[in-house]
Amino acid sequence: MRPLFLTVVCFLFLSTTPALAATCGNGPNGFEAWKQDFIANSKRYGLKQRTVNSALQNVKYNSKVIRLDRNQKSFKLSFQQFYAKRVNNAMIRRGQKLGKTYARLFSRIEKKYGVPAPVILAIWGLETNYGGYLGNMPVLQSLATLAYDCRRSKFFTNELVNALKIVQRRDMTPGEMRGAWAGEIGQTQFLASSYMKYAVDYDRDGRRDLIRSVPDVLASTANYLQKKGWRRGQPWGPGTANYRVIREWNRASVYVQTISVMADKIAN
């Protein structure tokens, strides 16, 4: 029997969103029924039921995603430990080289959004080693699993809905949507909700492609920071307004500090 406090938590999640299913869950049992109920209620989210059914029909509960969700140890490290684990001199040099390779693109982006190249390069490098590893887990399967799971059901239900809206807009097919275990997409690892709000079609090919289009990736990252309050021409170190904007990218203090320091090193 599910403990009473979990039943209460699930009720609170579901009372603030359109009906999905009778309950969330803490294991594979009940996932398929939850999924079918989500599909049946998809119109309440502005989704086409046929699109959702096609996108989710082969999606299964993924126990690996739950294990990874429960085992996030990196953010418990000190800054020195985290930085040493995630950044090295080769990454800094590559960031500087890419800054030169895409100098004209970065110049146009900074002119439009106000965000300088070193900050975008630091995020790009830290998230996926400049597009070198985007993750290979099916985004819709990860998000459906986490939406069903009781721990953060409301949050990930919203991400699942937004991921399906990306499919519905034809920016990406379900098969193309592969990423990190928590459903992050593309070379700077946008959550689906951020993708819907901040991704831009900078290369004007009719799609917001954060997987293959470097112009879309870099401009979308700058657009995100601008919309969060980035102050043009201002520093980004600790105690500044722009440092607080970087915190909007990732709330973990070690991550924010790493982006700031990495950007300084790339700039120098």
Taken as a whole, the chain contains a residue count of: 268
Return the CATH architecture of domain 74-134+187-267.
Orthogonal Bundle (1.10)
For the cut 70, the answer to whether the pLDDT of residue 10 exceeds it is no
Note the pLDDT tens digit of each residue in 49-107: 999 999 999 999 999 999 999 887 667 789 999 999 999 999 999 999 999 999 999 99
pLDDT tens digits for 133-161? Answer: 999 999 999 999 999 999 999 999 999 99
Check residue 124 and give its pLDDT. Answer: 98
Number of neighbouring beta carbons within 10 Å of residue 240: 14
Give the DSSP letter of residue 25: B
Domain layout of the chain by residue ranges: 4-70+136-179, 74-134+187-267
| DSSP per-residue string spanning 217-257 | HHHHHHHHHHHTT--TT---STTSHHHHHHHHH---HHHHH
Rg (CA), the chain: 20
Q: Are 200 and 219 in contact (CB under 8 A)?
A: yes
- What global pTM score does this model have? 0.87
Q: What is the pLDDT of residues 219-255, one digit of tens each?
A: 999 999 999 999 999 999 999 999 999 999 998 999 9
